[in-house]
Amino acid sequence: MRATIRDVARQAGVSIATVSRVMRDSETVRPETRDRVLAAAGDLEFVPSHLGRQLAERRHAANGIVFPDLSGPYYAEVVLGYEAVAAELGRSVLILSTRGRDDADDAVRAMAERCDGLVVVSGRTVDDDVVARLAARGTSLVLVARPPVDTVDSVNAENDASARALTRHLLDLGARRLVFVGDPSTSPDVAERLHGVQEALTEADVAADVEIRHVQNLDEQCGAEVVGDYLGRALPDAFVCANDELALGMLGRLRAAGVDLPSRVRVTGWDDVMAARYAGLTTVRQPMRELGATAARLLDELISGTRTHPRHELLPTQLVVRTSTTLGKETP
């Protein structure tokens, strides 16, 4: 069995209080005594138990993060940014993926019991009432890429401005008939993107319109299916997809059908995943790592009690133009 604080105290001939003081060099201890304790601790290879310490301090020194999935670069980057900052702040990071878990709500609640606070990424993880109940219980919470709730901190990527920029880019290229691929009712992010597109069209001084094409999931297969539908009839000028995976699915199917891009049709995505670069996909880059990092900082403020009023951060995004819309100004 590993040495405890009492073993060290006995060996050094002091009380456990003194050992505790030396280990966390809090109060003053006579150098001579300190040396004796340190010698005993080194001798016994004493490492203070986190459990004992945490119980006494009534804190976990750990943060949680809940996300739907880790495949695909989006969430992985968010988690990475989160972990980096949390570690800097001296906190461990607990992860919980809700994908394919039917007891996600319970799992999140269980996780909340093991952390000083947690971050919930994406609306596809747990229901709002779970979030509300956690918040009501006093759990420190930060929402990421999830519709803000007044009383709860949130971090989101800007959608509207980039959607407008993207749309103007397409209009500049002469595109007039757009098709937005994705279901705005599934996610507020998607709804905002669509909204930005529609606004840009309204503000434009040319006649242009956007059709909305709903899909089951935002994945490659659905993207391919959408292309299949359009191959029979006239292609629009551009497909504006709610995310990169949809767009990549479309690109693959279009290429297979021998449709030339960007002359016959243009395709855009959202996220700027790594594959988008190789596929030459015009898309919108999100500061994923920064989303996680910001969430970690906000959460730390909540936990440490530095701040009590909720904050809502909105991080900027950036249009990345590639060959799926124009050969003119390719960004490799």
Partner DNA sequence: GATCGTCATGTAACCGGTTTCAGAGACCGG
Partner DNA sequence: CCGGTCTCTGAAACCGGTTACATGACGATC
13 binds, among a copy of itself, DNA, none (CB under 5 to 8 A by kind): DNA
Beta pairing partners, 108 = none
For residues 216 to 255, the per-residue mask of contacts with a copy of itself, x marking binding by CB under 8 A and - elsewhere, is: --------------------------------x--xx---
Of 20, 122, 140, 323, the residue at the interface with DNA (CB under 7 A) is: 20
Between CA 227 and CA 248 the distance in angstroms is: 11
Q: Kindly state the DSSP code that residue 252 receives in the 8-state scheme.
A: H
Of 34, 195, 277, 311, the residue at the interface with a copy of itself (CB under 8 A) is: 277
Task: Write down the least CB distance from residue 320 to a copy of itself, Å.
Answer: 15
Q: Is 258 exposed, middle or buried (0-12, 13-18, 19+ CB in 10 A)?
A: exposed
Q: Closer to a copy of itself at the Cβ: 74 or 180?
A: 74
Q: Closer to DNA at the Cβ: 109 or 289?
A: 109
**83 lies in the binding site for a copy of itself (CB under 8 A):** yes
**24 lies in the binding site for DNA (CB under 7 A):** yes
For a copy of itself, the binding residues in 167-226 under the rule CB under 8 A are: none
**40 lies in the binding site for DNA (CB under 7 A):** no
Q: Closer to DNA at the Cβ: 18 or 162?
A: 18
| 292 neighbors 81 (Cβ within 8 angstroms) | yes
Of 85, 93, 108, 155, the residue at the interface with a copy of itself (CB under 8 A) is: 93
| 227 neighbors 253 (Cβ within 8 angstroms) | yes
**44 lies in the binding site for DNA (CB under 7 A):** no
Q: Closer to a copy of itself at the Cβ: 274 or 327?
A: 274
**151 lies in the binding site for a copy of itself (CB under 8 A):** no
280 alpha-carbon distance from chain centroid: 24
Between CA 155 and CA 253 the distance in angstroms is: 35
Beta pairing partners, 210 = 178
Of 273, 299, 319, 321, the residue at the interface with a copy of itself (CB under 8 A) is: 273
Tokens of 123: 């609306």
Q: Closer to DNA at the Cβ: 34 or 311?
A: 34
**54 lies in the binding site for a copy of itself (CB under 8 A):** yes
Closest CA to 278 of 287, 269, 290: 269
Q: Other CB atoms closer than 10 Å to residue 26's CB: what's the count?
A: 9
| 98 neighbors 65 (Cβ within 8 angstroms) | no
Task: Write down the least CB distance from residue 111 to a copy of itself, Å.
Answer: 7
**Those residues with Cβ within 8 angstroms of residue 109's Cβ, 6 or more apart along the chain or in another chain:** 130, 133, 134
Tokens of 143: 């929402």
Residue length of the chain? 332
**Those residues with Cβ within 8 angstroms of residue 6's Cβ, 6 or more apart along the chain or in another chain:** 16
Between CA 171 and CA 330 the distance in angstroms is: 17
Site residues (CB under 7 A) for DNA?
Answer: 1-2, 4-6, 13-18, 20-21, 23-24, 26-30, 32-34, 46-49, 51-53, 55-58
Q: Which residues bind a copy of itself (CB under 8 A)?
A: 45, 47, 49-52, 54-55, 58, 60, 62, 69-73, 76-77, 79-80, 83-84, 87, 92-97, 99-101, 107, 111, 113-114, 137, 248, 251-252, 256, 273-275, 277-279, 332
